[in-house]
Amino acid sequence: MPGCENTLGVRRLLTFATGLVECLCFAGVVFGWASLVFVLKTEGFFSSLCVNTTEVNATHVLDCSGQDEQFSLVFTVASFMNNFLTLPNGFLFDRFGTTVARLFGIFLYTMGTLMMAFSSSVLSNLLFPALSLLAVGGVLFLMTNMQVGNLFGSRRSTIITLYNGAFDSSSALFLIIKLLHESGISLRDSFLFLSACSAIHLLRTFFLMPRKFIPYPLPDHYTYGITCCKSKTPSAIVAANGDTQETAEDRPTDTDGPAKQEKSFRECVLSRFFMWHLLWLSVMQLRHYLFIGTLNPMLHRLTAGEPSLVSQYINAFAFTQLCGVLCAPWNGLIMDRLKGKPRAEGESEGEADLRASVLSLFLTALQCLLFSICAATPYLQLQYFTFILQVVNRSFLYGGNAAFISVAFPSCHFGKLYGLVMALSAVFSLLQYPFFALVKGPLDGDPLYVNIALTLLSLFAFIHPLSVYLHCRSVASERAKSRAVAAS
């Protein structure tokens, strides 16, 4: 029916738009930690760790390195939980579907905002569970929204990377809270408002999201959510023996071919692609986490402790985070554009997807190298450019991570593989805390040597695109030989 077709089209656009707003305003707020730390310091959180010390010239100064270290630990724990718990969340999503995963995520997120609202300088340790709950709940928002790309067929990679870019840009929410705090609005009021917004997430869950999954490729007349239109696809197909078979919505997303469908979860995890992809993500993620976690003390060092100048650079960093939603689609557009090129004779859709991912993986590694070099250079004005490179690279990193997993492995394992790679990379990212302690201790606050080590470590990220490129070339060569044999 034309009326129902129009309704479905509007519903899909609303699902896309509201999902973008959800990721942009809520999902990745924890990565705006540098802005929130500035506010928390003014509120006196962990202020008991600041001690009076006497320098060589007999002047008395307030040493707050213990406070900085505790704030760094809060972010380390939250960023670890954000990634590590993506594994059980992925199993939860693959097993029970969208509605259950989103309700669990909304519960965690609301608890986190309420804990932040009622934290204080006396209850500083409440920041540990509060920020962790915000992180875990936020990543569930992202995970359940990425399947919306399946509604848009040829633009699938673009939508996935766009949502990941919105996830990155949501870190600017803490900048808004910082600016509101400077205008006289308390932290409690800001976080109570975020708690009230959970009602919007609930409405999206029931009206604009599927109960189970959005399949790919999308069946004709596919419907989801609460609707008054009847789909031409029956809700259940009763077999001759009386068993009820699942509809497209009740199944995990379809695969592109039988070869991918036959691959077990274990085979995916033990594959060369997964191992190199894990290394690719881990080394670059560690670089970003250490940069965000140490940004405040780094700027404090470069500005000689001038509060107004530190605030200016923190605001500049937070504003650049807003651009993540604009940068991330470039990655998806690159992949979709390369995938859209005419295929070689006999080339499958899966091979075309892999071939299209090579440039994306390489550009992401190159961006990280340039970002790391700039971050390692102790020149204050250069940090504006560092902020730009950081947001572009971070957008490419997480969007490319999700897009590569969706094209390189069977999509019925997407939630589990996405969760596993994030969980394992989280274990690797725990190195940020000993690195931070090394800078604060033996290196006397100078991060130069740690930055150089991380820059060299980021070179390992180039192995992954090279591996995928060699694989694609090998497959193309075998295909050409098979055609030659067949012709002869």
DSSP-assigned states of every residue in 178-225: HHHHHTT--HHHHHHHHHHTHHHHHHHHHHSS-SS---SSPPTT---S
pLDDT tens string 215-236: 767 777 778 776 655 544 443 3
Both tokens assigned to 326: 């604009």
The phi, psi pair for 395, rounded to 5°, reads -65, -45
The whole-number pLDDT of residue 256 equals 40
The whole-number pLDDT of residue 246 equals 41
For the chain, what percent of residues have pLDDT higher than 70?
A: 87
Q: Is the pLDDT at 387 greater than 80, yes or no?
A: yes
Both tokens assigned to 365: 């590694």
Q: Is the pLDDT at 22 greater than 80, yes or no?
A: yes
Q: Is the pLDDT at 462 greater than 90, yes or no?
A: yes
Instruction: For residue 169, give the nearest of 359, 24, 331 by alpha carbon.
Output: 24
The whole-number pLDDT of residue 201 equals 94
13-52+60-217+264-480 topology per CATH: Growth Hormone; Chain: A; (1.20.1250)
pTM over 0.85: no
Averaged pLDDT score across all residues of the chain: 81
- Residues 6 or more apart whose CB falls under 8 angstroms from that of 174 comprise 29, 32, 33, 34, 35, 36, 318
The whole-number pLDDT of residue 469 equals 92
Instruction: For residue 213, give the nearest of 250, 247, 261 by alpha carbon.
Output: 250
Higher pLDDT, 119 or 82: 119
Give 151's pLDDT tier (boundaries 50, 70, 90).
Answer: confident
Give 58's pLDDT tier (boundaries 50, 70, 90).
Answer: low
Give 105's pLDDT tier (boundaries 50, 70, 90).
Answer: very high
Instruction: For residue 135, give the nearest of 279, 248, 29, 15 by alpha carbon.
Output: 29
The whole-number pLDDT of residue 57 equals 61
The whole-number pLDDT of residue 340 equals 66
Give 191's pLDDT tier (boundaries 50, 70, 90).
Answer: very high
Q: For the ranges 173-182, 364-373, 472-481, which has the lowest average pLDDT?
A: 472-481
Q: Is the pLDDT at 88 greater than 80, yes or no?
A: yes
The whole-number pLDDT of residue 59 equals 67
The whole-number pLDDT of residue 133 equals 94
Highest mean pLDDT among 84-93, 126-135, 350-359, 433-442: 126-135
* Residue 374 Cα distances to 309, 367, 370, 390, angstroms: 19, 11, 6, 10
Half-sphere exposure of 364 (CA within 13 A, CB side): 38
Cis peptide before 217 (omega within 30 of 0): yes
Q: Is the pLDDT at 238 greater than 50, yes or no?
A: no
The phi, psi pair for 366, rounded to 5°, reads -65, -45
The whole-number pLDDT of residue 440 equals 75
The whole-number pLDDT of residue 372 equals 93
Segments making up each domain of the chain, as ranges: 13-52+60-217+264-480
The whole-number pLDDT of residue 275 equals 93
pLDDT tens string 243-263: 333 444 444 444 343 444 467
Residue 52's CB is within 10 A of a number of other CB atoms, namely 8
